[in-house]
Amino acid sequence: MTHYDFIIAGGGAAGLSLAYQLINSSLRDYSILVIDKGNKQDNDRTWAFWTDQPTPFEPIVYRSWEQLHLADDERGQVLDLHNYRYQMIRGIDFYQFVHAALHACPHVTLLQGKVEQIIDGPRVAQVIVGDQTYTGTWVFDSIFRPNERLNDERYQYLQLHFKGWEIETATDVFRPEAATLMDFRTPQAGETRFFYVLPFSPRRALVEFTVFSDQRFSNQAYAEALHEYLAHVLDVTAYQIVAEEQGVIPATDQPFPRRIGERVMTIGTKGGRVKPTTGYAFVRIQQDTAAIIQSLIYYGHPFDVPEDARRYRILDTIMLEMMDHYGEELKPVFTTMFERNPIQRILRFLDEEATPLENLQLIATMPPWQFIQVAIQWQWTHNKHMHPFARLIQPPPDPHPEHYDSEGDGWLHNAVRMF
């Protein structure tokens, strides 16, 4: 059996980010095996994210925007990002960039194959690929299998699913300086649905139909929604589809364990690095990767990484519950949130980096009674002795706004304690 210091199961965003940051750290001389069942020769996805700091992949940023656009049936907003920027990286550029760096490192092996099993052990873990077995001092598992999730009624299970067309139009249509983060001008059908547009030029853009729901749609349903949006919202009838992308991201508040053995750690989606209420993961993966490497350097193991803040997990649960049962009602909530808050506060909140005061300021601009109703309903219909809502949320004295800011009373008192 061939032994490696680090074995990375899965060569997607998380696996390749870890390998790339390892060879650019003081651990660069350790042996690394990266296993993936594909050859990563296709532009199979894009990663978009906001950031106010450079990532390790600045050289391959495909497009960057300094403004965000949001719209619903009543109004539109164009927001300056100030010190933030919204960026996009194409999958093929990411794969080629990282693979080139890994091929140039003599201590790295890239293996195409299917990981059949990972067997933990006290000193090494075994990774079985076909009829071969490899051992690793540390194994990082990024292979997410949706059917592995638990059927636990305490948690929400939705899917963030999408289909996008990269189109080229016959006339100038798009504003290249602003990326459309959410455009709700589409029938909601009791769900949270919106369009997402990344303009590359006045005549070229990626247009995606995005939905939070229990089930994915047929290809025809996605196509009909895209056609409808282009024709009746953007007033575009003459265009050519030059590329397509489609995917699904788990939207669940179920905890994802990080340490699943003495020698095995989960990363990426399997490690809970996807923000369940937004689907964003790329920057979170980079931050997690840096923390893993720091833990390896200072403690000799990868497990000393920051835990997720409990207050944000509770907020994710409330939002997922609303998406599940009151999805259509979230359209004005999102647009109002962006209208009443500085963009920096919102992005720090979504990044789970906001101060307690910023959290309270943002929550105060949203309809509190609606969210509290959802929380109470969740607590009533599930096991309240096991869920954090039972300890953190009490009903307000009455549903009239003048009571919401009563000092030390009801929901605000508990919000202060929580945040």
pLDDT tens per residue across all 419 residues of the chain: 899 999 999 999 999 999 999 999 999 999 999 999 999 999 989 999 999 999 999 999 999 999 999 999 888 999 999 999 999 999 999 999 999 999 999 999 999 999 999 999 999 999 999 999 999 999 999 999 876 665 677 788 999 999 999 999 999 999 999 999 999 999 999 999 999 999 999 999 999 999 999 889 999 999 999 999 999 999 999 999 999 999 999 999 999 999 999 999 999 999 999 999 999 999 999 999 999 999 999 999 999 999 999 889 888 988 898 888 888 888 888 888 999 999 999 999 999 999 999 988 998 887 765 666 666 665 665 554 444 444 444 444 444 433 333 333 333 344 444 44
> Are the beta carbons of 358 and 193 closer than 8 angstroms?
no
Q: Residues spanned by CATH 3.50.50.60 within the chain? A: 2-65+87-148+255-299
Which residue matches tokens 């709700």? 184
Does the domain made of 2-65+87-148+255-299 have the CATH classification 3.40.50.720? no
β-strand 32-36 against 2-9: which pairing, if any? parallel
β-strand 192-201 against 204-213: which pairing, if any? antiparallel
Radius of gyration of the chain (CA): 23
**In angstroms, what CA-CA distances link 6 with 33, 135, 285?**
6, 9, 18
Q: Amino acid identity, residue 163? A: K
DSSP 3-state percent helix, strand, coil across the chain (nearest 5): 35, 30, 35
> What DSSP element (H or E) covers 205?
strand 204-213
Nearest to 393 by CA among 380, 406, 407: 380
Which pTM value belongs to this model? 0.88
pLDDT of residue 397: 42
> Are the beta carbons of 239 and 230 closer than 8 angstroms?
yes
Nearest to 320 by CA among 390, 371, 284, 248: 371
Q: Amino acid identity, residue 109? A: T
pLDDT of residue 327: 84
Number of C-beta neighbours around residue 31 at 10 A: 16
Q: How far apart are CA 33 and CA 135, in angstroms?
A: 10
Q: How far apart are CA 157 and CA 214, in angstroms?
A: 7
Output the CA torsion sign for 304, 309, 313, 316. Answer: negative
The tokens describing 94, both together, are 């990411």
CB-count exposure of residue 370 (10 Å: 0-12, 13-18, 19+): middle
Any bridge partners for residue 34, and if so which? Answer: 8, 110
Opening angle at CA 96, ends 93 and 100, nearest 5: 140
Does the domain made of 157-252 have the CATH classification 3.30.9.10? yes
SS3 15: helix
In the 8-state DSSP scheme, what is residue 354?
-
> Are the beta carbons of 349 and 362 closer than 8 angstroms?
yes
The tokens describing 152, both together, are 């636990």
**In angstroms, what CA-CA distances link 294 with 288, 289, 301?**
10, 9, 9
Q: Residues spanned by CATH 3.30.9.10 within the chain? A: 157-252
The tokens describing 121, both together, are 């052990």
pLDDT of residue 378: 59
E-assigned strand segments in 81-156: 85-90, 108-112, 115-119, 125-129, 132-141
